[in-house]
Amino acid sequence: SQKIEQNSEALNIQEGKTATLTCNYTNYSPAYLQWYRQDPGRGPVFLLLIRENEKEKRKERLKVTFDTTLKQSLFHITASQPADSATYLCALVNAGNNRKLIWGLGTSLAVNP
């Protein structure tokens, strides 16, 4: 069956450390993968997109990697801050069905001061 999985357990880290969130998928061939941030009571906000032929993408303190062999994307926040506390969602578009994003359940991140 097709699955997209993120760590269900909340991640708690200390301010200044690097947070690493995981997104694994099964039986998909993603054309690209996106990461979004969602705060309580709000809709998701786009952060980064990485294509199937890209290994890594960076934006300020954020870094995304994409390993199609491992079928995994990692999302890193360096020098984390309490304001980074939120739920982070990964979403992919399967090749051949490029209109529909398939979403993970998200991982909750708490950055402690």
Partner 1 sequence: GAGVSQSPSNKVTEKGKDVELRCDPISGHTALYWYRQSLGQGLEFLIYFQGNSAPDKSGLPSDRFSAERTGGSVSTLTIQRTQQEDSAVYLCASSLGAAGYYQETQYFGPGTRLLVL
Instruction: Return residues touching partner 1 (CB under 8 A).
Output: 31-32, 34, 41-46, 49, 51, 89, 91, 93, 98-106
- Rounded Cα distance between 62 and 27, Å, is 27
Task: Considering only the C-alpha atoms of the chain, give the largest distance between any 2 of them, rounded to a whole number of Å.
Answer: 44
Q: Which is nearer to partner 1, 49 or 110 (CB)?
A: 49
- We find the least distance from the C-beta atom of residue 15 to partner 1, in angstroms, to be 28
Q: Which is nearer to partner 1, 16 or 46 (CB)?
A: 46
Q: Which is nearer to partner 1, 17 or 51 (CB)?
A: 51
- We find the least distance from the C-beta atom of residue 98 to partner 1, in angstroms, to be 3
- We find the least distance from the C-beta atom of residue 113 to partner 1, in angstroms, to be 27
Asked if 95 and 29 count as a contact pair (C-beta separation under 8 A), the reply is yes
Residues with Cβ within 8 Å of 60's Cβ and at least 6 positions away in sequence, in order, are none
- We find the least distance from the C-beta atom of residue 5 to partner 1, in angstroms, to be 10
